[in-house]
Structure 1
Amino acid sequence: MKILTLLIASLGFLASCGPAGPSQRTEEEIWKLGWRMIESSIEENFVLADKQFDSLRNISPQLDLQYLVVGLKVKNKLGKSGEIATLLNAQEEAALQEICAKQFSPELPSCASTPAPAVENQELQAELIRMYVADQAARGNIVQDIIEKYQIDPASVTPGVGVTVDEQNRNRLKEIFQQHGFPTKQLVGRDAMQGVFLMIQHSDEDKEWQQAQLSNVESAVKNGDMDGQSFAYLYDRIKMNNGENQLYGTQFSKVDPVNKTVELAKTDDVENLDKRRREIGMMPIEMYKRLVLQDL
């Protein structure tokens, strides 16, 4: 599920896009339009995505950074460097640092003078990034952008003989948590924190330990160290592992690529599912179903 893995890493704070236009839209309408723009970009319909992004900017004075980053990538694909520069110049430092860390933007003038967010423990960051790359490689997902960004040697992520990647990562995470506590973005950076989440998510062979991390992930979300989707995916995973109903619709009981159908695993309060997904920063459930089928 390569596309979905990338989307899990979406960013969760607001960025300035200039004054709002005269149109007033509900949060739900903005949310749906934002995710339609993201879907258009995934489908490489960049002209449509650009129009949708401009519509978002006209109706909302502030956008979730996930929408802004995708919109900037779309404009970059279309060669609209002037518009990109204008948007970047309007950002506060924290948002600009996050944007400039993306692979498409380091060469832009506004990013040239913007330092990358500092981390307190670069050695630990590098180790967690290697573990993250190994976790994804074991699932057939080569995170080339991460490999290039951190100059990872593929040979350095090979698991020990007779030890599964998940077990090796989990055992090392336990040691890291014992030594450093639960990591933070300030300690190891956002990419490494994404890796920490995925390794916890893939710790089904130690369900007790996995469940014990839910409160840590919840605190990390509240502190801005992880995004809300991380909590939702882990919450549902734990519920399903315990034979209970999920809440956020992240898990499926059936995926049929031949007939192009998917069925949600048992979910509590389906009527309000999209409301919960919107509140935590996730895409509409019908879009999620489409992307699951596309990603097979």
Structure 2
Amino acid sequence: MGRPVALVLVVAAALALSACTSAPAAVPASSPPEPAPSHDILVHTIADAVDEELRDELLQLLEEDQAERLEGANFGGDAPRTERLAEIIAEHGWPGYSLVGEEAEDAAWAVAQHSDHDVDFQKTALQSLTAAVEAGDASPGNLAYLTDRIAVNDGTDQTYGTQIACTEDGPQPVVPIADEASVDERRADASLPPLADYYAEMEAICSEGP
């Protein structure tokens, strides 16, 4: 398999999140950006009850995550952020739009997405995120990406085709896509673009080299 590619999520507030794809073993410290999936384009009203302190903390965790991956900073790696998010989920459930707002919900997802060292935690986070999405309180696109990330770490087929790597033959799924003939239906349900469009964007990124 060729070099992994960072998956970048750009939310409505123009915040960029890298969510590097990888083989199950490890996630590289930095890697080139990937096009933004076209989800989270709706602006969600932030409720008056938003926990501003928790929102700011999650955004700070994201800043540390990105600084380590893109700038070579050292905040102790992913483990401390995973531990803190686990505490937040244990106390509040998934930190959704109503609790922390849209940007911080994305920040929580980025931490979970990068918790490859603790797949059991990722699965716990997935359960909480699923409940939040079903309640309209979190991003279905984030759920799709985390679902596929866990599949990569488990070595099973991915559902949405979000985990892509650059290879000598161009963009290729890190693990196979289950029932690829119907993947665009699942991607549409998650507010993701068709797989062909995603691959076209990835082709441009892969052609740029490391």
Asked if TM exceeds 0.5, the reply is: yes
Percent identical: 28
**TM-score normalised per structure 1:** 0.53
SS at match of 2:159: coil
Equivalent residues of 2:141, 2:192 under 8 A apart: yes
Corresponding residue for residue 9 of structure 2: 5
Counterpart selection for 1:275 from 175, 180, 185: 185
Whole-Å separation in 1 of the counterparts to 2:93 and 2:189: 28
Corresponding residue for residue 141 of structure 2: 229
Whole-Å separation in 2 of the counterparts to 1:3 and 1:274: 18
Distance 1:197 1:279, change over 3 A: same
1:182 shift after superposition = 2.7
1:130 shift after superposition = 0.5
SS at match of 1:277: helix
Greater share of residues in helix: 1
Q: 1:21-100, aligned counterparts within 5 Å?
A: 66=41, 98=45
Unaligned 5+ segments in structure 2 are 14-34
Matched, 1:291 2:201: yes
Corresponding residue for residue 118 of structure 2: 206
Deviation per CA, 1:252-294, whole angstroms, max 9, x where unpaired? 2x413xx671112311111111121112211111111122233
Corresponding residue for residue 244 of structure 1: 156
**TM-score normalised per structure 2:** 0.73
1:178 shift after superposition = 2.9
Equivalent residues of 1:122, 1:188 under 8 A apart: yes
Whole-Å separation in 2 of the counterparts to 1:251 and 1:65: 18
Counterpart selection for 1:120 from 21, 37, 50: 50
Distance 1:290 1:237, change over 3 A: same
Corresponding residue for residue 255 of structure 1: 166
Equivalent residues of 1:260, 1:293 under 8 A apart: no
Counterpart selection for 1:177 from 89, 94, 104: 89
1:196 shift after superposition = 0.5
Instruction: Please report the RMSD computed on the Cα atoms of aligned residues, expressed in angstroms.
Output: 2.9
SS at match of 1:248: coil
Report 1 or 2 for greater relative contact order, CA contacts < 8 Å, sequence distance ≥ 6. 2
Distance 1:4 1:175, change over 3 A: closer
Corresponding residue for residue 101 of structure 2: 189
Unaligned 5+ segments in structure 1 are 12-41, 43-63, 70-94, 99-115, 142-156
Distance 1:248 1:172, change over 3 A: same
Corresponding residue for residue 111 of structure 1: none
SS at match of 1:218: helix
SS at match of 1:5: strand
